[in-house]
Chain A
Amino acid sequence: MAVAAIRTSKLSKDYGLGHGLFDLDLEVSPQEVFGYLGPNGAGKSTTIRGLMGMIQPTSGSAQIFGLDCQRDSVAVKRKVGYLPGDMPQFGSLRGKDVVAYLGGLRGGADPQVVHGIAERFDLDLGRRFREYSSGNKRKLGIVLAFMHKPELLILDEPTSGLDPLNQQEFYRLLREARDGGATVFLSSHVLSEVEHVCDRVGIIRSGRLVKVAELEELHGIRVHRVEIEFAAESSVPEAAVRSAAGVDEVAVVNHRLSCTVKGSFEPLHKALEGTIVTNLVSHEPSLEEIFLTFYREDVTTELATS
């Protein structure tokens, strides 16, 4: 059985006042592209810093390719390419010096990979870091993460600051890396981004993992928005629809009814019996809606608990 690329067990980092990361159990398989979704402050960067051995967990453990992220942090980092959420300042150093400096710390980088990625993103490494735009700084970060052909890429919101064309180029680069055998752990709060490249998605909120699912599985959770138009002579069965299982957010305007349906359509179908429906439109759930549904559920659960 192949060792997991990433495995965490009850990984927690408690910053107090409810901030941090709590009891994270996560497993990412080799050659998988794993999307880690969550809003700002959800705990994405804390997870990543825990994996990178930058912070000491309050409890629990994290392993990368079977190596402990704290105890074997140097060995772990030989296998990892890392792109932080914010690029630090390198002042007057030129891009080529930054690459050589960090490559030197690593014990060497592949010059052809550096050249290839810089050329693909049209990043002039001869310019000084302080002259770079935020997009170019991000491109430099991408070069630094990929320059040694790592087995695992840990990328913290990698496309922030990149224009759409460069984002597409980056997605292509990710797919190539995966096809070349690399595993990718990518955090984002942009849902369309994970739709492009990820095999599985984990959703984190308030430091807790809410859901891990295949992309298909997420799409399969039916949270459809439905709009129904009734004939003028037909009644609008508002009460029956409101009481149908899985139906929510019911609104009626004249002979039009809109609602959301989670799970099976059967209860709604039964509620509509005896009426004349002239039009029915069901929208496929976007990832955004799925994302929001998870959050809303969580809030509802919290309110019910309190």
Chain B
Amino acid sequence: MTAIRLAFRLGRWGLVGFAGLGFFAATLQAVGFFQVAGHTAAERAAFGQSMTQLGTQFSILLPPPVRPDTVGGYVQFRAFGSLVFLFAIWALVSASGAARGDEERGLVEVMLASGLSRIRMLAARIAAFACACLLVALATSLGMEIGAVGGGEPVPLQAALEASIVLAALGLSCYALTLLVAQFTSARNAVAIAGSLLLALFLVNSLSRTFDWLQTWRWLSPFRYYELSRPLAPGGNFDAGAALVLLAASIVCASLAALAFERRDLGSPLLRLPARTQPVTYDASASPVWRIPVVRGVYDQRIGIIVWAAGVATLAAVFVVLTKTLVQPLLAIPVLRHYFDTFVHGDVYASFLGFLWFNVAQLLMAGFAIAQVARWSSEDTDGRLELILSNPIARMNVVLERAGVLTVGALFVVAVSGVAVGVEARVQSIDVDSTHLLGAVLLLVPFTLVFAAVGAVIAARIPRATVGLLGGFAFASYLIIELGPLFKWPAWALDLSAFKLYGEPLTNGIDETGLVIMSFIVIVGFAASIVFMQRRDVGA
């Protein structure tokens, strides 16, 4: 019981944060439904039809909606569909932290030394996460129910409970899978490898909606079993068998993880390659890269930057292919063809590509910025910054060098992805204006720097809370563009979102006002960060 209480304590902020996010997101979507869906049967039917069309465009990410003309169907599509990402990320971070992160910090050693067996310790962590996951899922359903009741169309409680169960089961299966993977990797690679596996499983399922050849593999994906239940929509279903498959998969993965944990050395993966013998050296590296500002930071992070670039470029190429696959059948419909010819300026494929890919690219680059800022924050808390500042280097230079490293890294990532988009577009015969493509790609750099500048300010003031606060900023920024149009917020409110500032450069060219505002935020943010950094205590 003590072990479970400790596990809860270790994950309390995740529980509180994700419960808040789930509750907030579901409430807003339910309330938003009544704002936009209309009140008459005809209005609802028209709204449902438009949502179904929207769902078709997003079918690469989310399953098509069922009865989006009802609050249950709408929230199932808009909230419970996208919360899958949230739960998977939470499970990934929590499980890799429980399996290897706490081990790195010496916490596991202390717990085992207290007489707790490995199996019991792992079981306590799993049990705590399962309870936390169910609580967060219930909070999400509660948020939806409050919004639905407020609109006078409550969703049956049984349906809300079933939605919570299946969401929690998905989170638990992602957690158990990450626990298992983490037993076979080095501690520092656990998140990357388990995250790649979860992403691959997600894509296998989501892309199987577009590519038939993937359908034979989608049984492997836990996301497939999640989607088989859609209890919130009237006439929707709760697939108890699929939920049981998720729970069974969780038990199997957790059991295998426990077996592996029993057999491996603390601090080491279960399987490891024999270390290469190399001669002892007493000399410092003679490489000149360590002497050049910015270059040394980029060199230090070279593998991470290359992995980001490869990942983003691969996704970019996939999205170009998807654009072709999705738009082609739409153009075959004469009514839609006429609609596109009237309202879409320029090439239809390019417009869709701008909408589909560059929205995702913005999210990815915001993630890149958060990852970099998290690094600054950990440099501060683990004492690396103190050692850096013990050298004759001004604090201002530390901030500027960090910004320089991030700029070069972001430029490299977006450049590689831009080449991937350009080459794949040519292969797919999509006519993309090369100037607009260059603008859209390069504009991702100041966009990334906006998040970095905000992060730099937070990191200079409260380094321990940086990642959470910056993540909250990104989430709020994204919510503004998602919900602003629904609630008919004024233009100035929408302009507060960094995502809005990016605009639609692939179709409309660079929005100069947005660029000026982004540049202003970047300059002010980093300048403020320098001022705060000069005045703060380091290592205290």
Contacts and interface: CB of A to CB of B under 8 A. Distances in A.
Interface string B371-390: 00000000100111011111
Contacts of B212: none
B427 interface: no
B539 A125 contact: no
B342 interface: no
A86 B383 contact: yes
Interface stretch (B6-14, B89-97, B283-291, B323-331): B283-291
B384 A107 contact: no
Contacts of A293: none
Q: Which of B291, B384, B535, B539 has the most CB of A within 10 A?
A: B539
Interface in A52-108: 52-56, 73-75, 77-78, 80, 82, 84, 86-94, 96-97, 99-108
A54 B282 contact: no
A220 interface: no
Interface string A120-135: 0001111000100000
A119 B281 CA distance: 9
A96 B383 contact: no
Interface string B475-506: 00000000000000000000000000000000
A118 interface: yes
Interface string B389-402: 11111100000000
B40 interface: no
B388 A102 contact: yes
A97 B394 CA distance: 22
A119 B188 CA distance: 30
B388 A105 contact: yes
Nearest to A107: B392
Nearest to B303: A92
Interface residues of B toward A: which range? 35 or more
A114 interface: yes
B281 A126 contact: yes
A84 B386 contact: yes
Interface residues of A toward B: which range? 35 or more
B282 A114 contact: yes
A278 B436 CA distance: 104
A191 interface: no
B394 A74 contact: yes
Contact of B387 (A74, A91, A94, A144): A144
A108 B292 CA distance: 11
B279 A126 contact: yes
A287 interface: no
B388 A119 contact: no
A56 B386 contact: no
A263 B291 CA distance: 58
A41 interface: no
Nearest to A91: B188
A125 B283 CA distance: 7
Contacts of A54: 386, 389-390, 537-540
What 8 A-B pairs come out closest when comparing CB atoms?
A88-B383, A118-B282, A100-B285, A99-B284, A82-B390, A100-B290, A88-B384, A104-B290
Interface of B: 188, 278-287, 290-292, 296, 300, 379, 382-384, 386-394, 535-540
15 contacts: A54-B540, A77-B389, A82-B387, A86-B383, A88-B383, A88-B384, A88-B387, A96-B283, A96-B284, A99-B285, A105-B388, A106-B393, A115-B282, A118-B282, A125-B282
Given A103-B284, A123-B282, 16 more contacts: A49-B538, A49-B539, A55-B538, A84-B539, A88-B379, A89-B383, A96-B285, A100-B286, A101-B290, A101-B296, A102-B388, A104-B296, A105-B393, A114-B283, A115-B282, A119-B282
Interface of A: 15, 46, 49, 52-56, 73-75, 77-78, 80, 82, 84, 86-94, 96-97, 99-109, 111, 114-115, 118-119, 123-126, 130, 144, 147
